[in-house]
Amino acid sequence: MVGDCAVRAIIAAFNSDWDKIYLDLCVQGLIEADMPSSNQVWGSYLKKNGYKRHFLPDTCPDCYTVRDFCNDYPKGTYILGTGSHVITVKDGNYYDSWDSGNKIPLYYWTKEE
């Protein structure tokens, strides 16, 4: 599969299945007239499902990695955006189809209780 990192990340965060999340994102993309994998579409979908986006400080923009985030956030579920990739972090572990631990996250989404 290519280009489905947003789908896979949301699946991991929601404990859902690929078909459901993909179709949900397609509907959201249709509403917004954009592709389901666009940052705007999956971000709107997360917001609609009770998530809030938080930006990471850019004091060290080229050195704070997904691994660093995992160390700093050992509890909870987060969806990280790098601008071109999406990764889920659960309880200090990142979930991806490849080793994206050195990617630089720009922001993260977490469910607001």
Quick one: three-class SS letters along 82-98? Answer: CCCCEEEEECCEEECCC
Cα separation, 41 vs 38, in Å, equals: 5
How far apart, in Å, do the first and last CA atoms of the chain sit? Answer: 33
What string of pLDDT tens digits covers the 113 residues of the chain?
458 999 999 999 999 999 999 999 999 999 999 999 999 999 999 999 999 999 998 777 678 999 999 999 999 999 999 989 999 999 999 999 899 999 999 999 999 87
Cα separation, 38 vs 86, in Å, equals: 10
